[in-house]
Amino acid sequence: MALTSKLPGVSTTIFTVMSELAREEGALNLSQGYPDFDGPPALLERVQHYLTHGHNQYAPMMGVPALREAIADKVLDLYGCRVDAERDVTVTSGATEALFCAISATVHPGDEVLVFDPAYDSYEPAVTLQGARTVHVPTHPPAFSVDWDRVAKLINDRTRMIIINSPHNPTGAVWNAHDIDCLQRIVQGRDIYLLSDEVYEHMVFDGREHVSLCRYPDLFQRSFVVSSFGKTYHTTGWKIGYCVAPSALSDEFRRVHQFVTFTSITPVQLGIADFLSAHPEHHLQLGDFYQAKRDLFCALLDDSPFSLVPSAGTYFQLLDYSAYSDEMDTELAVRLTREKKLASIPMSVFYEHDPGHRMLRFCFAKDDETLRRGAEILCSL
Ligand code: PMP
Ligand code: GLN
C-alpha cells in the first residue's frame, strides 16, 4: 500500500539527526538544547515523594489544580496578568504539545500563519497538517530584528495567526518594546491570533526584560502563551509545559489537548507545583545563571577563528564561521562532529530559503568543564 505523506517535505528533525551523529561519533554534544546537569535536588525530591506515595494515576485533563494555581500566581507576579487557574491554564506534555494544540485549535484549511525565520522547526509541520500555509518572514544577523513594514505587507484576510518566539531559538534575540508596539498596531482590528512561544522566558541577559505577551492585555486577549518546565528546571526529559490563554481560547485549546495526550504525568506535575511555589528564586536567578555560562563560553572563544555576537537570551550561542570556511553549515556541522568530535546545529535548516550567512548554533547549558572542552576544540580549528 502506498502511503501518501501529509508532510512530504519534512525529514527527521535536525535535533535528532545531530544528537544521533554525536552519539555514533562519540562527540561532545553542544547541538540539541539540553543541560548536562540535573534539576534542583529539592524538585527531584518532591517528584520522588509523589512517585512513591501513590500519585501515579491520571491527572485531571487540564492539569493538576495545584500546578495550575502555581502557574497563575507566577504569571500574576511576573507579568501582572490575572488569569483564572481553573479556565485559562492548561498543563501539557511539553511546550511542543501546547504549540501543536494551539495551532490545531485555531488554524483552518486555507489560512495563513506568519513565522519569523529562522523559525523553530515544529511550527510549520503543525500548520501544514491543518491544510494551511506558513508565510516566512526572514530576519538577519547580527540583530535578527523583525522588518515590521514587510510584516504589514504580508498580512491579509487569510492571516489567522502570528507565531512569535522571544527569547528566540536559535538566534538568542530578544524582542523589545518597539516590537510589541508594532505588533499591537498590526493586529489591531483584525482576526489574528498570537501564539507566543516563551519557553526561554527566564533566560534573558544583561538587564533586559522578557516581553511576555501576558503583560499586554490587548495582545493577551488574542494569545496563547506557551512555556516549558523542561527549560526552567533543567529537566527536558520530563516534557511538561503549559499554555495560558483567555478562557474562550483555552476552551478550544482543551478540545484538542484532551484527544492529543489527554493529560501529563501526575507525580511530576505535583512535584513541580510544590517547587514552583516554594522556590521562586530558582526561576528568578536563571538569567544570571545562564548569563555566566554564556560569558564563560564567549570568553573561551576569544582565540577561535569565529566571530560572535553574545546571545541576548536562551541558552544558545551563534558562531559565524565565514572567516574559517565557506562550507555549507549543514556540511560543516557534520564534518566537525565526525572529525573534531564536536556537534552543533546548522542555522540554515530553520530558514525557508538559504539565508546566505554561515552560522552554527552551540548550546551552553552545560557544566563549565564541558564548555571548556568544547571551546578548546573550536580554538584548535
Ligand atoms: N519551543 C522552542 C523555541 C524550543 O526551543 C523548544 C525546545 N525544546 C520547545 C518549544 C519545546 O519544548 P518542550 O521540550 O517543552 O516540548
Ligand atoms: N529545543 C531543543 C533545541 O532547540 C530541542 C528539542 C528537540 O529535540 N525537539 O535544541
Domains and CATH numbers, the chain: 14-39+282-379 (3.90.1150.10), 41-279 (3.40.640.10)
Average pLDDT over residues 356-369: 96
Q: Quick check: CB of 39 below 6 Å from ligand 1?
A: no
Confidence of residue 348 (pLDDT cuts 50, 70, 90): very high
Average pLDDT over residues 330-341: 98
CA–CA gap between residue 343 and residue 302 (Å, rounded):
20
**Residue 303 — φ and ψ, nearest 5°?**
-95, 15
Q: Quick check: CB of 171 below 6 Å from ligand 1?
A: no
CA–CA gap between residue 55 and residue 51 (Å, rounded):
6
Q: Which atom of ligand 2 is nearest to the CA of 120?
A: 4
Confidence of residue 250 (pLDDT cuts 50, 70, 90): very high
Q: Please, what is the average pLDDT of the chain?
A: 97
Q: Which of 132, 170, 164, 142 shows the shortest CA–CA distance to 151?
A: 164
Confidence of residue 2 (pLDDT cuts 50, 70, 90): confident
Residue 352's alpha-carbon distances to 71, 107, 156, 158, 274, in angstroms, are 35, 20, 20, 20, 42
Confidence at residue 290, expressed as pLDDT on a 0 to 100 scale? 98
CA–CA gap between residue 347 and residue 369 (Å, rounded):
25
Average pLDDT over residues 250-265: 98
In tens, the pLDDT along 111-130 reads 999 999 999 999 999 999 99
Residues with CB under 6 A from ligand 2: 13, 15, 32-33, 169
Q: Are 59 and 210 in contact (CB under 8 A)?
A: no
Query: In this structure, what C-alpha cell is assigned to residue 37?
Result: 546537569
pTM > 0.95: yes
Confidence at residue 357, expressed as pLDDT on a 0 to 100 scale? 87
Confidence at residue 369, expressed as pLDDT on a 0 to 100 scale? 98
Confidence at residue 134, expressed as pLDDT on a 0 to 100 scale? 98
**Proportion of the chain above pLDDT 70, given as a percent:** 100
Confidence of residue 1 (pLDDT cuts 50, 70, 90): confident
Q: Quick check: CB of 32 below 6 Å from ligand 1?
A: no
pLDDT of 8 > 90? The answer is: yes
Q: Which atom of ligand 2 is nearest to the CA of 199?
A: 1
**Proportion of the chain above pLDDT 90, given as a percent:** 98
Confidence at residue 117, expressed as pLDDT on a 0 to 100 scale? 98
In tens, the pLDDT along 194-215 reads 999 999 999 999 999 999 999 9
**Residue 320 — φ and ψ, nearest 5°?**
-90, 120
pLDDT of 33 > 90? The answer is: yes
Confidence of residue 77 (pLDDT cuts 50, 70, 90): very high
Strand partners, 195: 163, 224
CA–CA gap between residue 286 and residue 229 (Å, rounded):
12
Query: In this structure, what C-alpha cell is assigned to residue 5?
Result: 505523506
Residue identified by cell 560572535 is 308
Alpha helices (H) in 155-197, listed in sequence order? 177-187
Q: Which of 142, 159, 146, 97 shows the shortest CA–CA distance to 119?
A: 146
CA–CA gap between residue 246 and residue 259 (Å, rounded):
20
